[in-house]
Amino acid sequence: MKSKLAAIVLAGIAIMGTAATIIVNADFKGEWTFNEKKSKLSEGRFRMNAQKIKVTADGDAIVIERTSNTPNGESRTSSEKITTDGKPSESTVFGNNKKVSTAAWSASGEELTINSTTNFERDGNTIEIKSVEIWKLLEGGKALSIDATSTSPRGETKNTFVYDKN
């Protein structure tokens, strides 16, 4: 009898231990609006950060629609579908420019890191911009923070963009 009870207790502990290691990734799905007051923005040049972001899921991929304002005041929306398994995903942004991104979850599932390389053609020259975005939820999921670092021939820029959930 004691050995049966011990076996049941050990099985229960094993099951509970397994259940405790299940990781649930942060849920970024929804529509988000830029909050400049909560954001930490770099000085200087015009930033084409998104004023609105819409995030949906498609299987093991995250679909991100970003609506930005251009320097001349036009609204422009770009869409990218990025798998979260670390494999490269290609999208077309800002006209016909190619962007290749990889994304991977942190061990805790609380952060998603997106590494991207975008090549822009301008006056017959190719300009490469590399970026790293670290996405995480704040305020119990009511805000989205994106720590963004981009590197181009002009140097490195760091910003923290914060968006409120609609």
**DSSP secondary structure string for all residues of 26-89:** ----EEEEE-TTT-B--SSSPP--EEEEEEEEETTEEEEEEEEE-TTS-EEEEEEEEESBS--E
pLDDT at 14: 56
Residue 44 lies in a domain: yes
Residue 122: what pLDDT? 82
By the 10 Å C-beta count (0-12 exposed, 13-18 middle, 19+ buried), 103 is classed as buried
pLDDT at 18: 46
Residue 15's pLDDT is 56
Given this model, what pLDDT does residue 70 score?
A: 81
Structural domain for 145, as ranges: 26-165
In a domain, 3, yes or no: no
Let me know: does 59 contact 82? Beta carbons within 8 Å.
no
Both tokens of residue 159? 């910003």
Residue 36 pLDDT = 94
- Give the pLDDT of residue 19: 45
> CA torsion angle for 165, 143, 78, 43 (degrees, to 10)?
130
**Tens-digit pLDDT profile for the chain (166 aa)?**
666 655 565 555 555 554 445 778 999 999 999 999 999 998 865 567 899 999 999 988 999 999 998 888 889 999 999 999 989 999 988 778 899 999 999 999 999 999 999 998 888 899 999 999 999 999 999 999 999 999 999 899 999 999 999 9
pLDDT in tens, 4-37: 655 565 555 555 554 445 778 999 999 999 999 9
Question: Is 5 part of a structural domain of the chain?
Answer: no
Instruction: Kindly state whether residue 9 falls inside one of the protein's structural domains.
Output: no
pTM, rounded to two decimals: 0.83
Distance CA 13, CA 24 (A): 21
HSE-CB at 118 with a 13 A cutoff on CA atoms is: 17
CA atoms of 5 and 65, how far apart (whole Å): 55
- CATH number assigned to the domain comprising residue 95: 2.40.128.20
Q: Identify whether the C-beta of residue 152 lies closer than 8 Å to the C-beta of residue 127.
A: yes
Position 130 scores a pLDDT of 98
- Rounded CA separation 110/70 (Å): 32
Establish if 76 belongs to a structural domain: yes
Residue 36 inside a domain? The answer is: yes
What is the tally of structural domains in the chain?
1
pLDDT of residue 71: 80
Residue 18 lies in a domain: no
CA angle 82, 134, 71 (to 5 degrees): 80
Is the residue at 14 inside a domain?
Answer: no
